[in-house]
Chains A and B, each alone.
Chain A
Amino acid sequence: SAVISQKPSRDICQRGTSLTIQCQVDSQVTMMFWYRQQPGQSLTLIATANQGSEATYESGFVIDKFPISRPNLTFSTLTVSNMSPEDSSIYLCSVEALEGYGYTFGSGTRLTVV
């Protein structure tokens, strides 16, 4: 299965600033997903990132707040913009291999907004 490198692993940011999270995969994948896990909660899908097209956002998430790039089949970024303490969460990148072997997750980015 794919191996995902996600950076940074954690960060503490000031409110009003933005943070860009990177997700690098060691193989080409069709679908890349960005999830949010708020403290004590399960995972919620933010958006699906497709190469060559705009990301598809889930209800409650908007591009202005969570812009996503997907320049090629092995890389994606998620930006958390104009952060507030409510954005403090773990953000996880996930991929589905072309072979359909299932979903793999990065180790996540633990974001704290102060």
Chain B
Amino acid sequence: AQSVTQPDIHITVSEGASLELRCNYSYGATPYLFWYVQSPGQGLQLLLKYFSGDTLVQGIKGFEAEFKRSQSSFNLRKPSVHWSDAAEYFCAVGAYGNKLVFGAGTILRVKS
């Protein structure tokens, strides 16, 4: 069965510190992988996506993610967190023509 695990429900980091949000997936075929961000009261914004090719993908707002097939992981990273990054982050997996399956989300808090 297709599934996405985000093991951290909440993460708190200091402003300026580095960030890594974990995502592990289970999918029968070669997956498409996504990270979305949702600010309070807002819809979902796509941060980045991986379809194929270079396993390190760059996204918006200074985020990047690395696809590791051997670990079935697609962790999101940012070298220096800003207070405006406080939001909920969702990892999702899918394939062309199929539904997206979402993880439970990780709430990021940034302390000054």
Tell me the A residues contacting B by CB distance below 8 Å: 1, 6, 30-31, 33, 41-45, 48, 58, 90, 92, 94, 96, 100, 102-108, 110
Within 8 A of A (CB), among B43-61: 43-46, 49, 51
Contact B96–A92 (Cβ < 8 Å): no
Q: How far apart are B52's CB and chain A's nearest CB, in angstroms?
A: 11
Q: Determine if B97 is an interface residue (Cβ-Cβ < 8 Å).
A: yes
- Bound form: Cα–Cα A30–B49 in Å: 20
Q: Size range of the interface on B?
A: 20 to 34
Interface residue? B112 (CB, 8 A): no
User: Is there contact, CB below 8 Å, between A92 and B102?
Assistant: no
With contacts A33-B100, A102-B34 taken as known, whether A42 is within 8 angstroms of B46 at the C-beta atoms is no
Contact B96 A100 (CB under 8 A): yes
Residue of B nearest to A43 (CB): B102
Q: Which of B90, B100, B104, B105 contacts A94 (CB 8 A)?
A: B100
B residues less than 8 Å from A41 (CB atoms): 104
| Interface 0/1 of B76-104, CB less than 8 Å to A | 00000000000000101010110110111
Q: Besides A103-B100, A105-B45, 19 other CB < 8 A contacts?
A: A1-B46, A30-B97, A33-B100, A42-B90, A42-B103, A43-B90, A43-B102, A90-B43, A100-B96, A102-B34, A102-B46, A102-B49, A103-B92, A105-B36, A105-B43, A105-B46, A107-B43, A108-B43, A110-B41
Q: Which residues of B contact A45 (CB under 8 A)?
A: 99-100
Complex Cα–Cα for A102 and B104 (A): 20
Cα distance A104–B34 in the bound complex, in angstroms:
11
By beta carbon, the residue of chain B nearest A107 is B43
A-B contact list, 19 entries, CB within 8 Å? A1-B46, A6-B43, A33-B99, A42-B103, A43-B44, A43-B100, A45-B100, A48-B99, A92-B43, A94-B100, A96-B96, A96-B97, A102-B32, A102-B34, A102-B49, A105-B43, A105-B44, A107-B42, A108-B43
